[in-house]
Structure 1
């Protein structure tokens, strides 16, 4: 074990869980943040899930204040996010507020809370963005706007922290096969060349962390070979 700690949000499933497994392979002690730790079946002696609702700023502050062995924190992966798509007038104010908190405010608060430690440790901060933040998406105006904000925050943070040897990385995945699409009316196509897997995103994180050349990758866009989505079929 390298004695270093990592914090991963949305760590109980999908990209967050895959990234957590890669960090464990590299010898990190991983603290994963999620709403429902009991729903995660993966277990490892160095993998610890912390219950926290990232839509609640007070719970985020509690997470920051109580995080164990803060002086050993070297990696933060801001991965958690969710989307509600639809015409703007059909989105409830409550869901819009939750999206703002989880997709944008939470990464900002977590970064704010731990940056001094990462400066001391010359650590890494990862942001998992979305292609929705770069392109127009029908009925995805709120989610896309928040991801665009996250992208810009990461880019500005890179310039701010590079002089302190803190490495800031923005990963922008295209269509990835996770349960992100569970409540949406679209989903990845069945063609295996039309979607990414969470493990592939985690591999990018692994490659960045293993690189010792002094070269920094501030932003990387990861896409499948083909662009295909399909509408879900609902039985009446």
Structure 2
């Protein structure tokens, strides 16, 4: 029997790279997709011959077709697609011009749609899984995130559409919505004041790690989640459960 194969987009760093490493540790083959060729090359160095770098842009339909073709050429099958690639541009709602809106949508929503559509024939063959990466910002509104939050809310609905329509082929589709995660990027842009505020608002009183999010993603792609589809799982330390969550009302 051929080894299973996963495609992970946005895999050069952060949650995507952590997810790819977990798949490799389980004996899977992994196609790591990222448009940042230099960062992808650095990430690939220690990963071995069961990993393949695909330096493509998921917002381009032609490049998405090449992702699928190259993966099948290298590994012969696709058992899981993790739509992790995303961009975040934050700012006041009145400053979000159409160009910014389209930049965010092109990757976060269009890219997720394109990759899923292109991978579906191969996933039908394996009765595989799609895991889309949403965000806590797609579940609860927040300031400065009109394009980002809306794109992630759309990804959540796209996931439900996929589950409803692809289930008859044995394809499962689920969405993971990370809360604040201790990535290098987040730590570079979050002030101590922001960090303290998140800690106050999150019941577990801390950021998540990249590995903790990857744990949920890999589980949803595994046989252990064989009867789980159409679900939206907030891996967020309880942040979504708190509602207003005023720190002053905490005991």
User: So what's the TM-score if we normalise by structure 1?
Assistant: 0.85
Task: Give 1:87 deviation, angstroms.
Answer: 1.7
Supply the distance in 1 between the matched residues of 2:150 and 2:229 (Cα, whole angstroms). Answer: 24
Equivalent residue number for residue 249 of structure 2: none
Structure 1 contact 194–225 (Cα < 8 Å) conserved: no
The yes-or-no answer on 1:200 pairing with 2:212 is: yes
Residue 152 and residue 110 in structure 1: after superposition, are their counterparts in 2 closer, same or farther (change >3 A)? same
Greater displacement, 187-196 / 122-131: 187-196
Residue 53 and residue 130 in structure 1: after superposition, are their counterparts in 2 closer, same or farther (change >3 A)? same
Task: Tell me how many residue pairs correspond in the alignment.
Answer: 228
Equivalent residue number for residue 51 of structure 1: 55
Supply the distance in 2 between the matched residues of 1:2 and 1:19 (Cα, whole angstroms). Answer: 21
Equivalent residue number for residue 121 of structure 1: 126
Deviations 1:122-169 (A, max 9, x none): 001100110111111112111111101000000111111112111111
The yes-or-no answer on 1:61 pairing with 2:65 is: yes
Task: Give 1:73 deviation, angstroms.
Answer: 0.8
Give the structure with the larger strand fraction: 1
User: What stretches of structure 1 of length at least 5 have no aligned partner?
Assistant: 229-236
Structure 2 contact 136–177 (Cα < 8 Å) conserved: yes
Structure 2 contact 164–230 (Cα < 8 Å) conserved: no
Equivalent residue number for residue 235 of structure 2: 222
Equivalent residue number for residue 115 of structure 2: 110
Equivalent residue number for residue 6 of structure 1: 6
Structure 1 contact 79–128 (Cα < 8 Å) conserved: yes
Task: Give 1:184 deviation, angstroms.
Answer: 5.2
**Where does 1:1-236 land on structure 2 (aligned, <5 Å)?**
3-40=3-40, 41-42=42-43, 43-45=46-48, 46-69=50-73, 71-181=76-186, 188-189=195-196, 193-212=205-224, 214-219=226-231, 220-224=233-237
Structure 1 contact 122–164 (Cα < 8 Å) conserved: yes
Q: Secondary structure at the match of 2:150?
A: helix
Supply the distance in 2 between the matched residues of 1:136 and 1:19 (Cα, whole angstroms). Answer: 27
Provide the alpha-carbon RMSD of the alignment: 2.6
User: So what's the TM-score if we normalise by structure 2?
Assistant: 0.80
Q: Secondary structure at the match of 1:194?
A: coil
